[in-house]
Structure formats: C-alpha cells, structure tokens
C-alpha cells in the first residue's frame, strides 16, 4: 500500500520540522531584541538556524523512518543524529551514552578492561595513539601510528569510535584477532591479543646509575601529580646526591590536565605553565607555578615520541619553554585541544572540544606537536668492536700509569651499561647527556671555588 503524502507516518517529521522552525523563529526574535537593545550585539554570533537545512534534515529523518529496511524508533534516530553531529566536528568530540560515559569515568581512575591502548579515528579506521605499558597491546607489539582495519571478522570502516572500542572490550582471557596496517610494512598483518583487566600504574621510578634517576609516567591520572611529587621528594632526600633526572613521557596518551600542571609545578619555581583559549568564558584559564622546584635545579631530560599526546605535550612544552629540561626523542603527537565533558542527563553526556591550549611562550601544539631539542630515533643499535682490541695496557712490559689509577680505569670500563644501550637507545642517550651535563657543572663549580692566582 502506498502512503499518501499526509499519512500518519509523516507526522513526526512535520512536528520535528515545526519545532525546529519555531526555535529558529525564537532565535530571530531574540536576535532582533538584542540588536535593538545593545550596540555590542554586532559582535555576537548570529543565532539563526538555516531553514533549508532544517527542512532537509526533517525530510531525511522521515525517509529513514518510512523506507529503511528495518524499523527504527524515533528516539534511536535522534540519538544517531546527535552522534553524527559531534563526530563530524573533530576526532575527539563524541556523544557518551550510558556505557561510554561509565567507561570514561573508569578510565581516568586507572583500571579498566580491554586491550590497553589509547585510540582515535582517522579516515574511518581506528588509529593507535599509543599502547599502554605492560598491557596486551604493548606485549603484542602494537605501535603508535598503527591503523586497525579489522576487529575479528568485523571491518572497522563504517563503525564509529564507541562501536570499535566496544568490540575491543570483552571478558578477561578472551582473545581477539586484529588486522593492522603499519607504515613501512608491505601489507596488513594480523595480531592475536588476549584481553585483560588493565591496571595502569601511572608513575614508576628506578635508579639507573648512582645519582641518576628514571621516572616513567604512563598516563596522567587524578593522583599522578601527587605521586610524582612524592617520588621527587624521596629521591632528593636520599643519601646519594641527585645528579640528573630522566622523565619518560613516550607513548603517554595524556589524561587529566590538572595532573600535568602539577608535574611541571614540581620542577619549575615560577612562571606560566599552560593557558587555554576558547569561545566561551569558562573555557579560558591559566595555570602558573607555585614556587617549588623539588629537586633544586638538578638537570632533567624529558623523553617524548609520536605517542606522547595532550597532557604529556603540556609538560614537555612547558619545561622546554622554561629551559628547565632538554627534550629528547622524536616529534610528539600534536593533540593541543581541551575536551569538556558536559552531562546532559543522569547517564548521558557529550565530550566536546571547547578550547586549544598553548605553551607559556604562546605556541599551539594542535596538529604540530612538540619538536625535541635533540632528535633521537628509536633504533636497534649494534656495537662494532675494534679489530684486535689491543691497547697500550695490553703490551708486554708497558709502563704503569704512575698514579695507581690503572685498576680504576678497568673497573670504569666494566660499568658501561651495555644492556641499556642494546635495549633502549633513546634512554641510553638521555643518560649519557645527563652525565655530560653533570661533568660540566662539576667542572664549573670547581673553577668558581678555585682561588684566583696572584700576579707576581
């Protein structure tokens, strides 16, 4: 049976169009009143809804209701429309239904189920921003920049981000095969990952060599700033004087912005840390240091790479602008925008990009990232031994050094951190840089305290 143009099925569409047109009429009346009452209204954006586009929306809505192969209720269609509106803005704005809203709140607490990687969407595919330390994704060899084109038998193309994330989640111990496209790989390849409960340890630390400490921040959670400050205080109060600190932000996808501010504040005594600019008043804010360098100016090297995003870029950019640290590694991801979570009901919200953030010197990180002061690509390094390996000390009858330091020299050579050199060349270079800075500063201090020679 063919429906007439004014059959009952068209009524929701007509009602929807009438409601939107009524809203448009009200906006026009409000705008006219504003213009008549205040000259400054010329500076305000016009709140006029486009009539032709509203009619098109209502027509499309109605065609779907009448003609789609399966019946879809009006509430679901309107929810899809909201999803499309937000996802069309940028890769980070999204609609959060009850499930995804709960997931967001769980993720910032540091424990959730799944594969263990921060992801976004690019050209319809899931793009890996970074794998999270010691998770199934990390152990399987997932890398920052990988594109996931299939999840099991389900092609990713056509899914939104929430749908893709839902497929990646599952019971602990269950397996999923993902198909990955990687730059430099001749063709897509498959990886099998076993899902697990992801517990992200935000801050970890260890001593690499006497006086040289390594701190790893895997993700900025609510307590990251407090944990980082506690580690610095413990390091600084130890008997071994602190000679240098390596802060590792590689593959750190970001997280809670306030925590990144607290990390910078623990290393910088004064000055601006970060500021944001948006269209609405409460989107603009500035954070400044509160006067506490917890390691009293000890040299710092910050490691970043293409998986360092958002809050980790705030830290690297601020320390770079304040000349408080040497930034080493490769260019960061370039996510310089702020997302606000706006509840629209008890169990639903929207995540909306509301501002861009800037480093203290006014640099925007958005789509540019942080360029390291010293570029060091991650690489597999092979030591090439000198043929023969004979030195003066190996020659029969060689003269002794005369100052008894020969045994010390041999012992120093034994302490070369070969394992670190082979495992992580970027960390090895950072440690060497700190040692060089320490040697120079010690030499300068000695020269400053040496009495000047008297002229005869």
Supply the CATH number for residue 180's domain.
2.30.42.10
Instruction: Please tell me the distance from the alpha carbon of residue 189 to that of residue 180, in angstroms, as a whole number.
Output: 5
Based on the fold, state whether residues 145 and 279 are members of the same structural domain. no
Per-residue model confidence as pLDDT tens digits over 194-218: 999 877 778 999 999 999 999 999 9
In the predicted model, is pLDDT for residue 41 greater than 60?
Answer: no
**Reported confidence tier of residue 352, pLDDT bands at 50, 70, 90:** very high
Based on the fold, state whether residues 218 and 366 are members of the same structural domain. yes
pTM assigned to the model? 0.76
Instruction: Please tell me the distance from the alpha carbon of residue 335 to that of residue 197, in angstroms, as a whole number.
Output: 27
Based on the fold, state whether residues 216 and 313 are members of the same structural domain. yes
Of the candidate ranges 15-19, 86-90, 411-415, the one whose mean pLDDT is the lowest: 411-415
Q: Would you say residue 392 lies in a domain? A: no
What DSSP state is assigned to residue 451?
P
Based on the fold, state whether residues 259 and 363 are members of the same structural domain. yes
In the predicted model, is pLDDT for residue 223 greater than 50?
Answer: yes
For residue 392, the model assigns a pLDDT of 81
For residue 451, the model assigns a pLDDT of 60
Q: Dihedral through CA 55, CA 58, CA 59, CA 65, nearest 10?
A: 180
Q: Would you say residue 259 lies in a domain? A: yes
Instruction: Please tell me the distance from the alpha carbon of residue 348 to that of residue 362, in angstroms, as a whole number.
Output: 35
Query: Which of 169, 199, 229 delimits the end of a domain?
Result: 199
Q: Would you say residue 67 lies in a domain? A: no
Q: Dihedral through CA 226, CA 229, CA 235, CA 237, nearest 10?
A: -100
In the predicted model, is pLDDT for residue 364 greater than 80?
Answer: yes
Query: Which of 375, 407, 427 delimits the end of a domain?
Result: 375
Let me know: does 243 contact 212? Beta carbons within 8 Å: yes
Q: Would you say residue 21 lies in a domain? A: no
Q: Would you say residue 346 lies in a domain? A: yes
Based on the fold, state whether residues 237 and 337 are members of the same structural domain. yes
In the predicted model, is pLDDT for residue 12 greater than 90?
Answer: no
Which residue is it, tokens 């004064």? 270
Q: Would you say residue 95 lies in a domain? A: no
Based on the fold, state whether residues 258 and 367 are members of the same structural domain. yes
> Which strand (E) or helix (H) includes residue 338?
strand 337-343
Beta strands in 286-325 (DSSP E): 286-288, 300-304
Q: What are phi and psi of 221, to 5 degrees?
A: -105, 180
Would you report the helix, strand and coil content of the chain in percent, each value rounded to 5? 35, 25, 40
Of the candidate ranges 233-247, 298-312, 344-358, 418-432, the one whose mean pLDDT is the lowest: 418-432
In the predicted model, is pLDDT for residue 370 greater than 50?
Answer: yes
Based on the fold, state whether residues 223 and 353 are members of the same structural domain. yes
Average pLDDT in the chain:
84
The whole-number average pLDDT for the span 302-316 is: 96
Based on the fold, state whether residues 212 and 180 are members of the same structural domain. no
Q: Would you say residue 236 lies in a domain? A: yes
Q: Report the catalytic residues.
A: 310, 321, 335
Let me know: does 68 contact 9? Beta carbons within 8 Å: no
Based on the fold, state whether residues 241 and 360 are members of the same structural domain. yes
Per-residue model confidence as pLDDT tens digits over 92-144: 899 998 877 777 666 555 556 689 988 888 888 999 988 988 899 999 999 98
Partners of residue 127 on adjacent β-strands: 120, 147
* Residues of the domain holding 271: 203-375
Residue 346, by phi and psi: left (phi above 0), alpha (psi -120 to 50) or beta?
A: alpha
Query: Which of 154, 171, 199 delimits the end of a domain?
Result: 199
In the predicted model, is pLDDT for residue 228 greater than 90?
Answer: yes
End-to-end CA distance of the chain: 118
Based on the fold, state whether residues 308 and 185 are members of the same structural domain. no
* Number of domains the chain is built from: 2
The rounded radius of gyration (Å) of the Cα atoms in the chain is 29
* C-alpha of 62 from chain center: 41
In the predicted model, is pLDDT for residue 36 greater than 70?
Answer: no
In the predicted model, is pLDDT for residue 374 greater than 80?
Answer: yes
Based on the fold, state whether residues 290 and 254 are members of the same structural domain. yes
Let me know: does 361 contact 97? Beta carbons within 8 Å: no
Per-residue model confidence as pLDDT tens digits over 399-444: 887 666 555 555 554 455 666 777 899 999 999 999 999 888 877 7
Based on the fold, state whether residues 189 and 135 are members of the same structural domain. yes
**Reported confidence tier of residue 247, pLDDT bands at 50, 70, 90:** very high
Task: Between 2 and 52, name the one with better pLDDT.
Answer: 52
Residue 297, by phi and psi: left (phi above 0), alpha (psi -120 to 50) or beta?
A: left
Domain with residue 305: its CATH number is 3.90.226.10
Per-residue model confidence as pLDDT tens digits over 133-174: 889 999 999 998 999 999 999 999 988 888 898 899 888 899
Q: Would you say residue 428 lies in a domain? A: no
């Amino acid at each position: 049976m063919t429906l007439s143009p004014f059959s009952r099925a068209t009524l929701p569409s007509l009602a929807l169009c009438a409601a939107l047109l009524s809203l448009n009429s009200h906006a026009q009346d409000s705008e006219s009143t504003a213009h008549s009452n205040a000259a400054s209204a010329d500076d305000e954006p016009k709140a006029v809804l486009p009539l032709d586009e509203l009619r098109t929306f209502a027509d499309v809505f109605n065609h779907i209701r009448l003609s789609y192969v399966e019946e879809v209720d009006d509430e679901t269609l309107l929810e899809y429309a909201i999803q499309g509106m937000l996802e069309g803005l940028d890769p980070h704005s999204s609609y959060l239904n009850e499930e995804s809203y709960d997931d967001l709140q769980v993720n910032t607490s540091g424990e959730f189920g799944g594969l263990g990687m921060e992801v976004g969407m690019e050209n319809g595919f899931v793009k890996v921003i970074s794998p999270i330390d010691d998770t199934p994704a990390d152990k399987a060899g997932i890398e920052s920049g990988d594109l996931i084109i299939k999840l099991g038998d389900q092609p990713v193309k056509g899914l939104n981000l929430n749908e893709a994330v839902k497929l990646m989640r599952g019971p602990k111990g269950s397996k999923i095969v993902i198909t990955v496209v990687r730059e430099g790989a001749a063709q897509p390849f498959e990886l099998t990952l076993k899902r697990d409960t992801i517990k992200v340890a935000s801050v970890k630390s260890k001593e690499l060599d006497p006086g040289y400490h390594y701190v790893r921040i895997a993700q900025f959670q609510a307590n990251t700033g407090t944990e980082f400050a506690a580690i610095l205080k413990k390091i600084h109060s130890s008997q071994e004087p602190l000679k240098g600190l390596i802060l590792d932000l590689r593959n750190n996808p970001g997280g809670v912005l306030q925590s990144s501010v607290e990390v910078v504040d623990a290393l910088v005594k004064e000055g601006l840390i970060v500021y944001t600019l948006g269209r609405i008043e409460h989107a603009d804010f500035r954070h400044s240091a509160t006067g506490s360098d917890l390691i009293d100016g000890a040299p710092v090297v910050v490691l970043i790479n293409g998986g360092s995003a958002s809050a980790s870029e705030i830290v690297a950019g601020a320390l770079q602008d304040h000349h408080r640290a040497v930034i080493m590694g490769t260019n960061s991801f370039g996510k310089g925008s702020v997302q606000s979570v706006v509840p629209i009901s008890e169990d639903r919200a929207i995540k909306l990009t509301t501002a861009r953030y800037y480093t203290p010197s006014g640099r925007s990180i958005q789509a540019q990232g942080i360029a390291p002061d010293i570029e060091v690509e991650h690489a597999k390094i092979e030591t090439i031994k000198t043929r023969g390996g004979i030195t003066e000390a190996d020659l029969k009858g060689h003269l002794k050094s005369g100052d008894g330091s020969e045994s010390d020299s041999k012992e120093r050579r034994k302490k070369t951190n070969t394992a670190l050199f082979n495992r992580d060349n970027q960390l090895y270079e950072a440690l060497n840089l700190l040692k060089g800075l320490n040697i120079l500063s010690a030499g300068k201090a000695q020269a400053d305290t040496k009495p000047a020679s008297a002229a005869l």
